[in-house]
Homo-oligomer: A and B are copies of this chain.
């Protein structure tokens, strides 16, 4: 299927570009630390979404590569910090020991800090008008920081009190996972210098897919663990049927937005994949 071929080739392009960074690190061993979490497989949904969004509005995938690398660097740093014992305390990710298990907790903190910082350095390498680069920096900072991902994580660790209603859970997820996914689509469009209806469609697509991703995750997780422990979920608050229905409605919103775009087929396939996947 053409769309899935695009997925694989975009993923490979991002993987290759990221693998070439940090070779000049001092101490050299710190460069190895930084490469470790980047070198795992992973679906690379965010950077692929970014490159597909650029192509969907007629742009060149190469022009969006810095933005794609930046969103993957931010996603990766967030996983490294999330896995720490003082956060989710995960020993393994994608079948390999997590950064703090291979090295130590302090090194994992520094690793995440450096990956996050490098995301902004990468954006400045984009061969785009300076105004566009500034807008990319702003969008990434808003999506990643307290207004977006980290704010959602703060709510997730309980800083806003227990989450007992769907609206609060939606707000939490718009931050924790939705903001960076939506930014990935938007930053692809911005890298292609899209404007007007095309940017609006990409924004609508990104917002819908950003939330659909989390709802679909909850449906998948519900199959393996229906207990009352663990974090709040849509399945607990809405039941599995209503959660699935909402995920599908968001997928359909994303499909409608993709249909507006000149070359939105790959984005449409991605929206289907996000909601209908079985892993």
Give the interface of A toward B (CB within 8 A): 22, 24-31, 33-34, 77-78, 81, 84, 86-87, 104-107, 109-110, 112-114, 116-118, 120-121, 123-124, 129-131, 133-135, 137-138, 140-142, 144-147, 150-151, 153-155, 157, 159-161, 171, 175
Q: Which residues of chain B are within 8 angstroms of A117 by Cβ–Cβ distance? A: 116, 141, 144-146, 150
Determine how close the nearest CB of chain B comes to the CB of A136; give it in whole angstroms: 10
Q: How far is the CB of A78 from chain B (nearest CB, A)?
A: 8
7 closest residue pairs by CB, A with B: A27-B160, A117-B145, A86-B105, A130-B130, A121-B141, A30-B154, A124-B138
Return chain B residues, CB-CB under 8 Å to A154: 27, 29-30, 33, 107, 110, 114
**Cβ–Cβ contact B26 & A110, under 8 A:** no
- Residues in B with CB closer than 8 Å to A146 are 22, 25, 30-31, 34, 114, 117-118
Closest to A29 in B: B159
Contact B159 A141 (CB under 8 A): no
B114 touches A151 (CB 8 A): yes
Q: Choose among B24, B34, B114, B151 the residue that contacts A30 (Cβ–Cβ < 8 A).
A: B151
Number of copies: 2
Contacts A30-B159, A86-B109 given; does A121 touch B138 at CB 8 Å: yes
Q: Which residues of B contact A150 (CB under 8 A)?
A: 110, 113-114, 117
In Å, the complex CA distance between A87 and B104 comes to: 10
- For A175, what are the chain B residues with a Cβ–Cβ distance below 8 Å? 26
Question: With A84-B109, A145-B114, A150-B113 known to touch, is A26 a contact of B155 (CB < 8 Å)?
Answer: yes
Task: Please indicate the chain B residues that have their CB under 8 angstroms from the CB of A151 in the complex.
Answer: 25-27, 30, 114
Complex Cα–Cα for A87 and B86 (A): 13
- A131 to B33 CA separation, bound complex (whole angstroms): 33
Known: A107-B157, A120-B120. 11 other contacts (CB 8 A): A27-B160, A28-B160, A30-B151, A86-B105, A113-B116, A117-B150, A121-B141, A124-B134, A133-B134, A133-B137, A134-B134
What are 6 sample pairs from A and B whose C-beta atoms fall under 8 A apart?
A86-B109, A110-B153, A113-B150, A118-B145, A118-B146, A121-B138
Q: Complex Cα distance A68/B252, Å? A: 46
A124→B145 contact, CB < 8 A: no
A74 to chain B, nearest CB (A): 9
A121 and B113 CA atoms in complex are apart in Å by 16
